[in-house]
Amino acid sequence: MRVLLVEDDERIVNFVQRGLKAEGYAVEVARSGLEAVALGTAGEFQTIILDLGLPDLNGRQVCERLRNAGVHTPILMLTARDTVQDKVTGLRSGADDYMTKPFAFEELLARIEVLMRRRGVGETKSDIKELQIADLILNGETHEVRRGDTPIELTPKEFSLLECLMRAPGKVLSRTRILEQVWGYSSDPLTNVVDVYIRQLRRKIDDNYELKLLKTVRGFGYKMDAA
């Protein structure tokens, strides 16, 4: 999925671009308002991340021009201004969401996903009822899991964790990302609950099988991979 990042601060560009690419997004960067309008009207993007303070047109002007040109791509506005009036003005100019700097990358990622769901982007993937990696099969309707012909009994939280990993085959998910998807935003990022449940899940789906599917990527997180 393609994201247009409109930002003139190179530190933020590098930070966001590197993070989004690691999550599987294709990122194109515009460093001015005029460039953003040109790219936004010409390209097919699933989300636009738009900084409010730009060297020529400001973010609100860019947003208005895109909307007037018939561009309906979800727009997430970034700014250091956090007053209510700033937020209201940004939203009224056509933005779909508003984030203040500094921000955590995991929150940015979650907001992008929410915007895409609102517009129906990625619904096909979410609607898949049966997931399979090698001989491991998870059925989202019946909540059954099996490897080959052998059923595997999982707790509801173990099932949610496995589903989270299987929906991103081969992709490394950080502990923070897993916490947000499986346990919700209220979870403490310093907790070891992810590691505890990973061990329990690995014991059930991998320990008795030659092909190990649940992989630890040290320093990054976990992934499901048949390779």
Q: Where in the chain is the domain with CATH 3.40.50.2300?
A: 2-123
- The two three-digit tokens of residue 141, written as one number: 């309707």
How much is the pLDDT for 128? 56
Give SS3 for 70: coil
Task: Look at residue 124 in the predicted model and tell me its pLDDT.
Answer: 41
Rounded CA separation 218/172 (Å): 10
* Element at 52 (helix H, strand E): none
| Model pLDDT for residues 189-202, shown as the tens digit of each residue | 556 888 999 999 99
Q: Which residues of the chain have pLDDT under 70?
A: 81-83, 86-87, 90, 118-128, 184-191
**Domain 128-224 class?**
mainly alpha
For every residue of 145-171, DSSP letters joined together read EEETTEEE---HHHHHHHHHHHTSTT-
pLDDT tens digits for 30-48?
Answer: 999 999 999 999 878 889 9
Residues of the chain with CATH 1.10.10.10: 128-224
Q: Which residues pair with 132 in a beta bridge?
A: 137
Would the CA dihedral through 12, 14, 17, 23 be positive or negative?
negative
Looking at residue 185, its pLDDT comes to: 52
Quick one: fold of 2-123? Rossmann fold (3.40.50)
Which among 40, 53, 55 has a CA at the least distance from the CA of 5? 40
